[in-house]
Structure 1
Amino acid sequence: MKKLAFALFLISGVVFSQEMKIVQGNFDFLKDQKEINTEFDYSNFTMMKENKPEAQYVEEHKADLDKKAKGNGNLWYKRWAVAKEQIWTPKFLEIGNIVMTKAKKELNFQEELNTPYTLIVQTVWIYPGWDAGIMKQPAKVTTNLKFVETANKSNVLLEITSEEAPGDQWGNNFNNETRIGEGYAKTAKSLSKLLLKKAFK
């Protein structure tokens, strides 16, 4: 029992491994802003420890699932194809805004806004994690977060990297897509807390 408890402690410790780094810029432009246009870039990320392109991961995972039961690969892919718009993006926006609201700040992140500044959330790397009941590994999401001028997106005002944001929930979560979604939620939570500390101190 002690060995099991220690193993679970080690696994849970991974949850706190996220690292956010300020690459360039400052937070001054955010002080008077109430809304930030937000865009999500899923166009060029890699997956797994081997840094596989998304397309390669999808084909291999579909094939593995079909070996277990024919047709399961396509069933999974239907969930994967909509996860970005239906799980990952909403999770980021929802949790980021909740943190700001709880801190009584008006700054709000939404898509398709006509605002002076835009946050570009670029996905760099994803590890989906796994859940085998008593043992599990959280998902991990690495992103590049760029605040740019909406009218001139080559003008980067603030750039932050978020490395290996953990995605997990209490209890069991056997769905890769929702585990990854929790990684985006953690990214947004950490970003909002950083903004509260640096821009609204």
Structure 2
Amino acid sequence: MARLIPKGGGGLPVGVPMHLPLAQLPKNTVLLDGSAMPSWASSQVKAMYGATLPDYRGRAPVGTDEGAGRISAAWAKTPGQGGGADTHKLGTDEMPSHDHAASASTNGYHGHSGSTGTDGSHRHSIGLRDGEDLHNDSRDRVEGGDDYGQSGTEHTRYAGNHNHSLSINGNGNHSHNISIGHRGGNAAHNNMQPSIAGRWVMRLK
């Protein structure tokens, strides 16, 4: 750097912030760290910047918006003001629209209970011709005749072939438990563009 910046910092303009990737500062230059203006600075530099040096540490320069509408932040409208952040955590409105996987529990498995009507119990009448009997058992002789061999009627035993009515209780109403999985660690993301580190310095005289 000795050939590019002559001894005494004569190759650098006075009062102009410069970005230099140097570990050692040229003579008559200072680091722009927001500290008090050195007493040995030229009167012209003191007149431009006042009693305090600009603070360029950890910042990238950006042009003031000047009505362009590219940066909405108020700090970008005033020279010398700083803003921005090295990390940013997304809010709800900033997250991409997305879905979550869900699974239902097996608690929904169920059955139905029912009951039949009681009017299914019945029997049927059978007409008999003279001299007919369905059974040899005297207990099952025809009804309505005084003697065996006369016509009459007899009944079948109860619980013959028949239908039953069935009513189903409304136990089918139920609900399912849903569990929604979540993703993400809720951490802030790096907000810094690819960069190269250097030192913001200024020649003061």
TM-score range, shorter chain: under 0.3
Q: TM-score, normalised by structure 1?
A: 0.21
Q: For the pair shown, which has the larger CA radius of gyration, 1 or 2?
A: 2
Report 1 or 2 for greater relative contact order, CA contacts < 8 Å, sequence distance ≥ 6. Answer: 2
Question: Larger strand proportion, structure 1 or 2?
Answer: 1
Question: Larger helix proportion, structure 1 or 2?
Answer: 1
